[in-house]
Structure 1
Amino acid sequence: MVRGKVKWFSDEKGYGFITPEAGGDDLFVHYSEVVGEGFRTLEEGSEVEFDVVEGRRGKQASKVEVVGQ
């Protein structure tokens, strides 16, 4: 798994971007890839762990979990 921080996330739109800790381009994240029950969202600045997968428009975050929860 890779670590990073949530750059921004829109509850309205259901997606956002994560900045990888190791550097590189920000990664797209869709709410469906956030691990958890109920309403799945991410707070700006939260530290997260995730897998990087190849999506339709390039690399994106998958199986996103907030660190410490």
Structure 2
Amino acid sequence: MPTGKVKWFEPAKGFGFLVTDDGQEVYLHASALEDGVTSVRGGARMEFGIAQGRKGAQALSARLLDEMPSVARAKRKPADEQAILVEDLIKLLDGISNGLRRGRYPEKAQGAKIAAVLRAVADDLDA
């Protein structure tokens, strides 16, 4: 079976393109992906069959060989540093909850900063 890399794949549209090791572009539809796989990242290596469709080469039975490493995961902080941030965030949220119990929301600017910190920590955890 031929192998190649994902050139790009748009999960919302359900298709993308592969480039074989010899440089041929091949159409990849989401239905050709193996069971349980709904999306692939650009650069991921795949093994697939090729059939000629109406508009050219089309991938059949595409199987993921290796996923591209996550850029976000590579850039996230080490776990011991992240633990300190989470502990500080817990203290911050505890202070906010005390104000909320008294019927007071944080000021808009402070709320926006807290939300940004929450998103950043969540992104690091989700990577």
If the length of structure 1 is used for normalisation, what is the TM-score?
Answer: 0.87
Q: Deviations over 1:5-60 (max 9, x none)?
A: 00000011100000101223x111000000122x5111111000000001121111
- Asked if the contact 2:44–2:66 (Cα under 8 Å) also holds between the matched residues in 1, the reply is no
1:11 and 2:22 correspond: no
Q: Percent identity?
A: 33
- Runs of 4+ in structure 1 over 2 Å off: none
Q: Which structure 2 segments of 5+ residues have no match? A: 68-127
Corresponding residue for residue 33 of structure 2: 34
Aligned residues: 67
2:111 counterpart residue number = none
* 2:48 corresponds to: 50
**Could you say which structure has the higher helix fraction?**
2
Q: Distance in 2 between matches of 1:29 and 1:3?
A: 13
Structure 1 or 2, whichever has the larger Rg, is 2
Shift of residue 68, structure 1, vs aligned partner: 4.3
* Distance in 1 between residues matched to 2:11 and 2:46, nearest whole Å: 17
**1:2 partner amino acid:** P
Given the two structures, how large is their TM-score scaled by the length of structure 2?
0.49
Structure 1's unaligned 5+ residue stretches are none
Kindly provide the amino acid, as one letter, of the partner of residue 59 in structure 1: A
